[in-house]
Amino acid sequence: MIRKLNNKGMTAIEILVTFVIIAIIVVSLYDGIVGLKEKETISSSKLSLSTYKNLLTKDIQDDLIKTGILGVSTSAMEGNIGYRVTFTLRDGSTRILDVKQVFGCNALDLEEAEQLCGQRGISYDQSDDFMISYGPPGNLVDYPLPDLGHEDIENYGTGDTGTHRIYALRINEVNISTANQIFSLRITFTHPDLGSRYSIDIVSPINYP
Protein backbone atom coordinates (compact mmCIF):
# COMPACT_ATOMS: atom_id res chain seq x y z
CA MET A 1 0.00 0.00 0.00
CA ILE A 2 1.36 3.40 -0.92
CA ARG A 3 0.72 5.84 1.87
CA LYS A 4 -0.06 9.33 0.75
CA LEU A 5 1.94 11.87 2.75
CA ASN A 6 0.68 15.32 3.60
CA ASN A 7 3.36 17.55 2.15
CA LYS A 8 1.33 20.70 2.14
CA GLY A 9 3.13 22.26 5.18
CA MET A 10 1.79 25.25 7.06
CA THR A 11 0.45 28.37 5.48
CA ALA A 12 2.09 31.73 6.11
CA ILE A 13 -0.82 32.88 8.27
CA GLU A 14 -0.52 29.77 10.49
CA ILE A 15 3.18 30.35 11.01
CA LEU A 16 2.56 34.03 11.73
CA VAL A 17 -0.17 33.29 14.30
CA THR A 18 2.05 30.66 15.95
CA PHE A 19 4.94 33.13 16.24
CA VAL A 20 2.66 35.80 17.67
CA ILE A 21 1.27 33.38 20.31
CA ILE A 22 4.76 32.20 21.26
CA ALA A 23 5.99 35.80 21.44
CA ILE A 24 3.08 36.75 23.74
CA ILE A 25 3.76 33.76 26.01
CA VAL A 26 7.50 34.52 26.18
CA VAL A 27 6.92 38.22 26.94
CA SER A 28 4.36 37.48 29.68
CA LEU A 29 6.62 34.83 31.21
CA TYR A 30 9.57 37.25 31.15
CA ASP A 31 7.53 39.96 32.90
CA GLY A 32 6.36 37.44 35.45
CA ILE A 33 9.85 36.16 36.16
CA VAL A 34 11.29 39.69 36.46
CA GLY A 35 8.41 40.57 38.83
CA LEU A 36 9.06 37.47 40.93
CA LYS A 37 12.76 38.26 41.09
CA GLU A 38 12.00 41.78 42.32
CA LYS A 39 9.55 40.39 44.89
CA GLU A 40 12.14 37.92 46.07
CA THR A 41 14.72 40.70 46.49
CA ILE A 42 12.25 42.84 48.44
CA SER A 43 11.24 39.85 50.62
CA SER A 44 14.88 39.12 51.33
CA SER A 45 15.48 42.78 52.29
CA LYS A 46 12.39 42.74 54.55
CA LEU A 47 13.61 39.57 56.23
CA SER A 48 17.12 40.98 56.83
CA LEU A 49 15.73 44.22 58.24
CA SER A 50 13.17 42.40 60.42
CA THR A 51 15.87 40.09 61.78
CA TYR A 52 18.07 43.08 62.58
CA LYS A 53 15.19 44.95 64.23
CA ASN A 54 14.10 41.89 66.25
CA LEU A 55 17.61 41.19 67.51
CA LEU A 56 18.28 44.75 68.62
CA THR A 57 14.78 45.27 70.08
CA LYS A 58 15.01 42.03 72.06
CA ASP A 59 18.47 42.86 73.48
CA ILE A 60 17.32 46.30 74.66
CA GLN A 61 13.84 45.27 75.85
CA ASP A 62 15.26 42.32 77.81
CA ASP A 63 17.17 44.78 80.01
CA LEU A 64 14.39 47.35 80.22
CA ILE A 65 11.63 44.84 81.04
CA LYS A 66 13.53 42.48 83.32
CA THR A 67 15.30 45.16 85.33
CA GLY A 68 13.24 48.29 84.70
CA ILE A 69 14.33 51.87 84.01
CA LEU A 70 15.06 54.20 86.90
CA GLY A 71 16.15 57.14 84.77
CA VAL A 72 17.12 58.14 81.22
CA SER A 73 19.36 60.89 79.90
CA THR A 74 19.99 61.86 76.30
CA SER A 75 22.99 63.69 74.83
CA ALA A 76 24.69 64.28 71.50
CA MET A 77 27.54 61.94 70.57
CA GLU A 78 31.02 63.43 70.48
CA GLY A 79 31.48 65.33 67.22
CA ASN A 80 27.69 65.70 66.95
CA ILE A 81 27.43 62.56 64.83
CA GLY A 82 24.40 61.07 66.54
CA TYR A 83 22.62 60.48 69.83
CA ARG A 84 23.62 58.79 73.08
CA VAL A 85 20.93 57.49 75.43
CA THR A 86 22.06 56.49 78.92
CA PHE A 87 19.72 54.22 80.89
CA THR A 88 20.04 53.89 84.64
CA LEU A 89 18.38 50.61 85.57
CA ARG A 90 16.62 49.78 88.83
CA ASP A 91 19.44 47.48 89.95
CA GLY A 92 21.88 50.42 89.74
CA SER A 93 23.58 49.31 86.50
CA THR A 94 23.89 51.46 83.38
CA ARG A 95 23.27 50.75 79.70
CA ILE A 96 24.25 52.97 76.80
CA LEU A 97 22.59 53.17 73.41
CA ASP A 98 24.48 55.05 70.67
CA VAL A 99 22.82 55.88 67.37
CA LYS A 100 25.38 57.15 64.86
CA GLN A 101 23.77 58.94 61.94
CA VAL A 102 26.17 60.42 59.40
CA PHE A 103 24.70 61.05 55.96
CA GLY A 104 27.03 60.70 52.99
CA CYS A 105 27.01 62.89 49.88
CA ASN A 106 24.39 61.24 47.68
CA ALA A 107 24.95 63.35 44.54
CA LEU A 108 25.57 62.18 41.00
CA ASP A 109 27.39 65.26 39.68
CA LEU A 110 29.16 68.36 40.91
CA GLU A 111 26.13 70.62 40.50
CA GLU A 112 23.96 68.26 42.56
CA ALA A 113 26.76 67.88 45.11
CA GLU A 114 26.80 71.68 45.61
CA GLN A 115 23.04 71.72 46.16
CA LEU A 116 22.56 68.53 48.19
CA CYS A 117 25.80 68.38 50.15
CA GLY A 118 27.49 71.80 50.07
CA GLN A 119 24.47 73.62 51.48
CA ARG A 120 24.14 71.08 54.31
CA GLY A 121 27.82 71.11 55.16
CA ILE A 122 28.36 67.52 54.03
CA SER A 123 31.81 66.85 52.60
CA TYR A 124 31.63 65.84 48.91
CA ASP A 125 33.55 62.62 49.61
CA GLN A 126 31.60 61.66 52.74
CA SER A 127 30.30 58.07 52.86
CA ASP A 128 27.17 56.99 54.75
CA ASP A 129 28.05 56.00 58.30
CA PHE A 130 25.23 54.52 60.35
CA MET A 131 25.70 52.38 63.41
CA ILE A 132 23.70 51.42 66.48
CA SER A 133 25.63 50.28 69.54
CA TYR A 134 24.23 49.04 72.84
CA GLY A 135 25.59 47.62 76.08
CA PRO A 136 27.13 48.49 79.43
CA PRO A 137 29.66 51.38 79.50
CA GLY A 138 33.03 50.33 78.07
CA ASN A 139 31.55 47.19 76.55
CA LEU A 140 29.25 48.45 73.80
CA VAL A 141 28.27 45.93 71.13
CA ASP A 142 28.01 47.26 67.57
CA TYR A 143 24.90 46.37 65.56
CA PRO A 144 25.84 47.36 61.98
CA LEU A 145 22.89 47.93 59.66
CA PRO A 146 22.39 45.11 57.13
CA ASP A 147 23.76 45.98 53.69
CA LEU A 148 20.64 45.95 51.51
CA GLY A 149 22.47 47.38 48.51
CA HIS A 150 24.91 50.24 48.09
CA GLU A 151 26.38 52.50 45.46
CA ASP A 152 29.95 53.71 45.18
CA ILE A 153 29.86 57.30 43.96
CA GLU A 154 32.78 59.23 42.48
CA ASN A 155 34.09 62.05 44.63
CA TYR A 156 33.53 65.55 43.28
CA GLY A 157 35.28 68.87 43.68
CA THR A 158 38.09 67.71 45.94
CA GLY A 159 40.56 66.60 43.27
CA ASP A 160 40.17 63.16 44.76
CA THR A 161 39.60 60.40 42.21
CA GLY A 162 38.32 57.89 44.78
CA THR A 163 34.75 56.92 45.61
CA HIS A 164 32.50 57.11 48.62
CA ARG A 165 29.71 54.71 49.55
CA ILE A 166 25.99 55.41 49.85
CA TYR A 167 23.80 52.65 51.29
CA ALA A 168 20.23 51.86 50.26
CA LEU A 169 19.25 51.37 53.91
CA ARG A 170 19.72 54.52 55.98
CA ILE A 171 18.64 55.77 59.39
CA ASN A 172 16.08 58.38 58.44
CA GLU A 173 14.97 59.76 61.77
CA VAL A 174 15.61 59.35 65.50
CA ASN A 175 12.91 60.41 67.97
CA ILE A 176 13.52 60.23 71.70
CA SER A 177 11.02 61.29 74.35
CA THR A 178 10.74 60.99 78.12
CA ALA A 179 7.50 62.92 78.54
CA ASN A 180 4.99 61.76 81.19
CA GLN A 181 7.50 59.34 82.76
CA ILE A 182 7.43 57.19 79.59
CA PHE A 183 10.59 56.59 77.61
CA SER A 184 10.04 56.16 73.90
CA LEU A 185 12.60 55.76 71.18
CA ARG A 186 11.86 55.46 67.48
CA ILE A 187 14.64 54.87 64.98
CA THR A 188 13.10 54.99 61.51
CA PHE A 189 14.85 53.39 58.56
CA THR A 190 14.41 54.33 54.95
CA HIS A 191 14.99 52.20 51.87
CA PRO A 192 14.02 52.83 48.24
CA ASP A 193 11.96 49.61 48.02
CA LEU A 194 10.70 49.32 51.59
CA GLY A 195 9.86 52.99 52.27
CA SER A 196 10.09 54.17 55.87
CA ARG A 197 7.65 51.76 57.49
CA TYR A 198 10.38 49.86 59.31
CA SER A 199 11.51 51.26 62.62
CA ILE A 200 12.84 50.21 65.98
CA ASP A 201 10.29 51.19 68.62
CA ILE A 202 11.12 50.98 72.29
CA VAL A 203 8.52 52.16 74.80
CA SER A 204 8.93 51.63 78.52
CA PRO A 205 7.74 53.38 81.70
CA ILE A 206 10.35 55.16 83.81
CA ASN A 207 10.53 54.21 87.49
CA TYR A 208 7.28 52.23 87.44
CA PRO A 209 7.10 50.04 90.56
Binding site for other proteins (CB under 8 A): 3, 5-6, 13-14, 17-18, 21, 53-54, 57-58, 61, 65, 177, 180-182, 184, 195-197, 201, 203-205, 208-209
Q: In terms of CB distance, is 13 or 79 closer to other proteins?
A: 13
Q: In terms of CB distance, is 13 or 138 closer to other proteins?
A: 13
d(CA 130, CA 182): 26
- Closest approach, Cβ 159 to other proteins, in A, equals 37
d(CA 191, CA 89): 34
Contact call for residues 154 and 136 (beta carbons, < 8 A)? no
- Closest approach, Cβ 149 to other proteins, in A, equals 19
Q: Closest Cα partner for 62 from 87, 85, 83?
A: 87
> CA-CA-CA-CA torsion for 89, 188, 100, 182, nearest 10 degrees?
-20
Helix, strand and coil in the chain, % to nearest 5 = 35, 35, 35
- Closest approach, Cβ 146 to other proteins, in A, equals 16
Q: In terms of CB distance, is 47 or 108 closer to other proteins?
A: 47
Q: Closest Cα partner for 151 from 185, 104, 198?
A: 104
Q: In terms of CB distance, is 44 or 54 closer to other proteins?
A: 54
Q: In terms of CB distance, is 94 or 207 closer to other proteins?
A: 207
- Closest approach, Cβ 189 to other proteins, in A, equals 11
d(CA 205, CA 98): 20
- Closest approach, Cβ 13 to other proteins, in A, equals 7
